[in-house]
Amino acid sequence: MAIRERLKKDPRLVPIGINIGKNRDTSNERAYEDYLFTLRELYDLGDYFVLNVSSPNTPNLRELQMGENLGVILSEVWRFRRFKPYKPILVKLAPEISGEDMVEIAKICEENDIDGVILTNTLKVEGGGLSGKPLFEISNERIREWVKISKIPVIGVGGIFSLEDVQKKLSLGAVLTQVYTGFVYRGWELFSQP
């Protein structure tokens, strides 16, 4: 596995989170096999793992967030990690998930001892995913909603461009935050200037 070789060479100056999706040509019924394969291959090299069931770029991947599909993946992952050294495993959700769907997902995550959720992935738009500022309020809304229904900790992501944005997500109940698009636009400056 190419990524395994690359990770083995990493100087490990910071914790490594490994984000896992399924292959495009794997059916949703067999998706759990892809998640397990990658977890097995890389478990010793990651500090935490993210089950990405919310990328808008892989056809049908987001259906894995729902009901039985998610239940199968999470229960297989639960069985896999049962006798392994503890490492946090998180689930990453789409910003479109809310209401009863979110309640059901929270229940499935709790039943399978998921350590955290990442809210949110990109918004699905024609041709791909929308990130950055247009996502800020929507992902905030999802954090607000999640903390009302579940005690599973939230990592907040979506549209962070400043310290104030980070503080907003923390004030809503996120315990950690992540940034992608803001880093693309502002580079390292983002971390040194508010």
Ligand X SMILES: Cc1cc2nc3c(=O)[nH]c(=O)nc-3n(C[C@H](O)[C@H](O)[C@H](O)COP(=O)(O)O)c2cc1C
**75 in active site:** no
In the complex with ligand X, the residue whose CB is nearer, 85 or 127, is: 127
In the complex with ligand X, the residue whose CB is nearer, 83 or 188, is: 188
Smallest gap, in angstroms, from Cβ of residue 83 to ligand X? 27
- Contact yes or no for 90/155 (Cβ under 8 A): yes
Smallest gap, in angstroms, from Cβ of residue 132 to ligand X? 5
In the complex with ligand X, the residue whose CB is nearer, 64 or 179, is: 179
Site for ligand X, rule CB under 6 A: 19, 52, 55, 92, 121-122, 131-132, 135, 157-160, 179-182
- Of the candidates 51, 37, 50, the one whose C-alpha atom is nearest the C-alpha of residue 4 is 37
End-to-end C-alpha distance for the chain, whole angstroms: 40
In the complex with ligand X, the residue whose CB is nearer, 19 or 162, is: 19
Smallest gap, in angstroms, from Cβ of residue 128 to ligand X? 8
Catalytic residue among 54, 55, 131, 139: 55
DSSP string covering 114-140: --EEEE--PEEETTEEE-SHHHHHHHH
Smallest gap, in angstroms, from Cβ of residue 162 to ligand X? 12
Alpha helices in the chain (DSSP H): 2-9, 31-42, 67-81, 99-111, 133-149, 163-172, 181-186, 189-192
Q: Within 10 Å of residue 178's Cβ, how many Cβ atoms?
A: 18
Q: List active site positions.
A: 55
